[in-house]
Chain A
Amino acid sequence: MLPRMAPRARALTTRFRRDIISALASEPPPSVLERGSGRMTFIQPGAATNAIQRVANAAWRLAISPRTALATLALLLVATVLGGLLPQASPALERGSSQYDAWLGEARSQYGASVDVLESLGLLGVFSSRLFRLLLALASGASLLRMLHLWVPSWVSPCHFPVERHSLSLRCDSEETWQRVMRALAATGQRLARHAEARGVRYAVARRKGPERWVPGLFYLGLLPLLLASVVEHQWGWAGPPVELALGETQSLGRSTGLAVRLDQIAFVPRDDGTMQRFDSLVLLLRGARMEKRVVVGPGKPAAYRGLRLYQLGVGPSVQVCAHTAEGNALRIKDMLGDPTPQRALRLRFSGQQQEQLLAIPEADLVVRLLHYPSLQTQGIQGRALHVQINRASDGHLLAEEYLADSGQVGAGDTSVRVVFEYCVTLRAKREPGLFLAAAGGLLMLVGMVGFVVCPPRELWLSVRSRRRGSVCELEVAESDIQAQWFLGLVSEIAEVSDG
């Protein structure tokens, strides 16, 4: 364990640091340097750098400063908390579209007039707002600069974190000490990133070498394709409207696809609490009258076809209704709210906006009213329930009424109405050209994060100077690293006698 050699210091303010800043900051632009040598010539101590260079240095330090990162994260946190507290419109809903207006209406019914206030402030689409996009752009810019700071050896800037200084007095001359420093750095997996000489003193900055130097930077690199993917999706991606299908029903996936989809079959395994352990839909993709492909879609199991991906967004209740006379003759039924074409059997969906259906049986002068409930505690039904009312069409007289918890029959005179409980599915087609970019970016970020934990970046500032007998080596390292194994190892490699 090393004794603390210097009082806790913030940023670089001592003469040592001013010298090293001057030495390393006043070098000529990279194009003038000897390629491959990494060795820079000190121009003049105390020489005033031009204003542009000073501004550039200040901007650079601001961009990679931990305080900037902290501020960015804090602003993102505020936006995220707002997204968790306030209703947010899906990015797929375009402002002014009918779907957006429907969503707004639903929000108003729940939250009242405050929704209009939130909408005027732009708080119903925090993640789609320009301010949030600007924030993401700033975050990506800062990430790029931080990545360059980690990876490009010459892009070193005086550190802003608290540092500790450790001085070593050695009997050997400065050249021998320098060689020891080189060996010690190699032994601890580091190498010089930059070095310079000024007034007989050698200054240098050392960092990790090898893959361990690169891996943490992958976190910042990964953020860039992840954000770029959202731009690609916004420009070239496409999402079709949600399509609700009952069994046997056919609907278009969207005009730009030229495809229609038909729900042919469903297979499900329910749990005791009513949720689905498994729910797979066999759908047919049709182009005109021709079947293009038969695919199986389920929750978490999208299907792909020629650049299109088909997702099953959800499952809802539907029923199949048919009517028979006492002799067993099938009666035709008409949907009074939808397609009025009479059919022998009708399939009807119940959704958030439509929980009631009306049917007519003209041959029996009957009107059937179906009301769907997710559960009906007053009737002792825990799961889905259907309230069936059969009225005489001519005078509205109620002939029969029943609550069904499962498939069943309701009779009214000579007519019996059979109801079979089924399910409908909601599908959506999408084109996602940015998906690969997003996946690559996410993977890089994860690898980079592992790198930060396993091999966090190290930075060591050092100087070697001669004195009358021997030399002095001063090491400055982050306060958190002063007792780290690698630093203790480095010091023991260099030290002969430690100055107390």
Chain B
Amino acid sequence: MASLADPAWPGLLVGPGALLALMATVVAWWVRRGPLSRWLLTAGCLLGTAGSVSMGVQSGWRPSNRPTLALAATGMAMGLWGVALCGQNRRVQGLAGLVAGVAMGTFLVAPDVVVPGVQDGGLWFALDEVFFVLACGLLLLGSICVAVPTFRPNDAGARWVLALGLLLQTMALGSRAVGVQLAWGAYWWWGPVGCWRLAAWLSTAIAALGVWQMGWAGRPAQIAMLVVTVVLLLVLLGSAPLVRWLGLGGL
């Protein structure tokens, strides 16, 4: 039997998690049982989360150094947000389950895709990644909801998603600042990857300012949300490889 230290162990959790999430999609869209699909989606995402956390604790695997894990974590976050915020909307839950299931499946197929050289460790950096992934999942869910007319998008929803996403990113940056301060004594000096995280925060802040205080509504609000989501996902998946490709990590 695999032990907790065995890297195969998390697969025993993420695999069933992916299956449950996909089953939630089937139940939501075809069987049309809302409460059951909610239960399945929650169970699937929680199983996947448990697997990811155990990987992080035992092996140091993080979304920042494993892009497929980042995808899976974003999918799981989107699934959980779908249950929390759109509990009565079967269509959204079905979509969230599909994204979560496919994302977790992608990780299971290619778990060894690694960005070398990313070795930030410790509780505060882990919190930073958790909050950032939650923000990515939330904004991905919000973007899909505003982009697909079937989901009856509204401006109030876009406003709250941006505000909550900004709050989560603020918590992520705060955690990163604490982690950097404890590690190197420089809470304001985050390196190139930290710069990209700050750029994502600034993009979200600009969109939130536009929607909340400048009256961006309808199409402009939708575009703002979509742009912010793309920026966040690019930062999550691409900032570490970009920094490595540019050779900035060593300087």
Residues of B contacting A111 in the complex (Cβ-Cβ under 8 angstroms): 247
**Is A300 within 8 A of B167, CB to CB?**
no
Q: Which of A431-451 contact B (CB under 8 A)?
A: 432, 435, 438, 442, 445-446, 449-450
Task: Give the chain B neighbours of A273 by CB distance below 8 A.
Answer: 59-60
**At the interface, yes or no: B85 with Cβ under 8 Å from chain A?**
no
CB distance from B35 to the nearest CB of A (A): 27
**Cα A446 to Cα B214 with chains together (Å):** 23
A84 near B239 with CB under 8 A, answer yes
- CB of B36 within 8 Å of the partner chain: no
Known A-B contacts A87-B248, A275-B119; the reply to A430 vs B185 at CB < 8 A is yes
Report chain B residues within 8 Å CB of A91: 186, 189
Contact with A along B34-57 (1 / 0, CB 8 A): 000000000000000000000000
Are B195 and A84 touching (Cβ within 8 A)? Answer: yes
User: Is B3 positioned at the interface, with any CB of A under 8 Å from its CB?
Assistant: no
Chain A 270-302 per-residue mask, 1 if CB under 8 angstroms from chain B, else 0: 011101110000000000000000000001111
Residues on B with beta carbons closer than 8 Å to the beta carbon of A162: 215
Q: Are B155 and A311 interface neighbours, CB within 8 A?
A: no
List chain B residues, Cβ under 8 A from A456.
163, 212
B156: Cβ under 8 A from any A Cβ: yes
Contacts of B60 on A, CB cut-off 8 Å? 271, 273, 275, 277
Residues of B near A438 (CB, < 8 A) are: 187-188
Contact of A442 with B184 at beta-carbon distance under 8 Å, contacts A161-B213, A271-B60, A449-B166 already known = no
The answer, yes or no, to whether B4 is at the interface (CB within 8 Å) is no
B170–A445 touching, CB < 8 Å: yes
Minimum CB–CB distance for B17 against chain A, Å: 24
Residues of B within 8 A of A87 (CB): 248, 251
Closest-CB distance, B118 to chain A (whole angstroms) = 10
Q: Is the CB of A83 within 8 A of B184?
A: no
Contact A275 B121 (CB under 8 A): yes
Please report the C-alpha to C-alpha distance between residue A77 and residue B199 in the assembled complex, in whole angstroms: 6
* Distance A77 CA – B203 CA, assembled complex (angstroms): 7
Known: A70-B214, A76-B202, A479-B215. A449 touches B185 (CB 8 A): no
- Does B182 contact A446, Cβ atoms closer than 8 Å? no
CB <8 Å contact, A452 and B163: yes
A432→B251 contact, CB < 8 A:
no
Taking a contact as CB atoms under 8 Å apart, the answer to whether A446 and B174 are in contact is: yes
A364 at the interface (CB under 8 A from B): no
Knowing A73-B206, A299-B183, A442-B174 are in contact, say whether A271-B59 is a contact too (CB < 8 A).
yes
Assess the A300–B206 pair: CB atoms within 8 A: no
Chain B residues near A498 (CB-CB < 8 A)? none
Which of the segments A102-110, A382-390, A415-423 contacts the partner chain?
Answer: A102-110
User: Which are the 4 A-B pairs with shortest beta-carbon distances?
Assistant: A162-B215, A84-B195, A300-B122, A66-B213
